[in-house]
């Protein structure tokens, strides 16, 4: 089994029917709100190390989490902070994982020019003058893998951990069968 390390989880939820971002910015000193720059309020936590974007619509995006548990903790902490300043927040938060980014190492160097041709140009983007990695889009699971000559891989676009594991194992087996990696 190839080791996979989660780098970032992006999740969304809704805290309330609407949020008064001006009031929240004035009440919570850690809040960053510059509406002329960006329409959302940024609230950063140090534990778990996350940033949450709050919008007037009541919607929020949490980014920076490394585990689903961190996402849930983040949302619980933000809810409690909002309640303390008088915001009526929903009791149950429907949390939707939007994207998980993870990294792995396939355990061998890759000749990306040869890999690009072997994997089939219809699923691959490789322009080494513009970006040093090869982008390999899988149909199932629907994720993008960035392969680097070092054998390192970044998986993006997954919505659950199983998809990441399946994608990394799939590309590893494919590269072994094509002779680019050793077992």
The pLDDT tens digits of the residues spanning 93-106 come to 999 999 999 999 99
Top CATH class, 106-177: alpha beta
| Band of pLDDT at residue 1, cut at 50, 70 and 90 | confident
Radius of gyration of the chain, Cα coordinates, nearest whole angstrom:
20
Q: Is 44 helix (H, G, I), strand (E, B) or coil?
A: strand
Burial 94-127 (b: 16+ CB within 10 A, else e): eeebeebbbbbebeeebebeebbebbeeeebebe
- Asked if the 10-97 domain carries CATH number 3.40.50.300, the reply is no
Q: How far, in Å, CA of 19 to CA of 88, rounded? A: 9
The per-residue pLDDT for 121 is 85
Instruction: Write down the H helix ranges in the chain.
Output: 21-27, 68-84, 112-119, 161-177
Nearest to 111 by CA among 137, 138, 147: 147
pLDDT score of 16 more than 80: yes
Rounded to two decimals, the pTM is: 0.92
The per-residue pLDDT for 183 is 77
Percent of the chain with pLDDT over 70: 100
- Rounded to the nearest integer, the mean pLDDT of the chain is 96
Q: How far, in Å, CA of 129 to CA of 132, rounded? A: 7
The answer to whether domain 10-97 and domain 106-177 are alike in fold is yes
Q: What is the mean pLDDT of residues 39-64?
A: 98
Task: For residue 183, give every residue at least 6 positions away whose Cβ sits within 8 Å of its Cβ, in sequence order, or none.
Answer: 176
Contact 13, 60 (CB under 8 A): yes
Q: What is the mean pLDDT of residues 136-156?
A: 97
Contact 55, 19 (CB under 8 A): yes
Look up residue 148 and give its two tokens: 């680097």
Spans of all domains in the chain: 10-97, 106-177
DSSP, residue by residue, 49-89: EEEEEE-TTSEEEEEEESSHHHHHHHHHHHHHHHHHTT---
The pLDDT tens digits of the residues spanning 147-173 come to 999 999 999 999 999 999 999 999 999
Task: For residue 131, give every residue at least 6 positions away whose Cβ sits within 8 Å of its Cβ, in sequence order, or none.
Answer: none
């Amino acid at each position: 089994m190839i080791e996979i390390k989660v780098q970032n989880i992006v999740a969304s939820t809704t805290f309330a029917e609407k949020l008064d971002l001006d009031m929240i910015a004035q009440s919570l000193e850690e809040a960053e709100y510059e509406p002329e720059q960006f329409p959302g309020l940024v609230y950063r936590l140090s534990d778990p190390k996350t940033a949450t974007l709050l919008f007037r619509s009541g919607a929020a995006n949490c980014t920076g989490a490394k585990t689903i548990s961190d996402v849930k903790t983040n949302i619980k902490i933000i809810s409690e902070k909002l309640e303390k300043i008088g915001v009526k927040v929903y009791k149950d938060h429907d949390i939707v994982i939007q994207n998980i980014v993870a990294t792995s190492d396939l355990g061998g160097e890759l000749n990306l020019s040869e890999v690009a041709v072997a994997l089939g140009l219809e699923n691959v983007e490789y322009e080494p003058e513009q970006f040093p990695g090869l982008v390999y889009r899988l149909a199932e699971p629907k994720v993008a893998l960035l392969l680097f000559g070092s054998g390192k891989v970044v998986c993006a676009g997954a919505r659950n951990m199983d998809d990441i594991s399946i994608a990394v194992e799939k590309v590893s087996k494919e590269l072994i069968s094509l002779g680019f990696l050793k077992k």
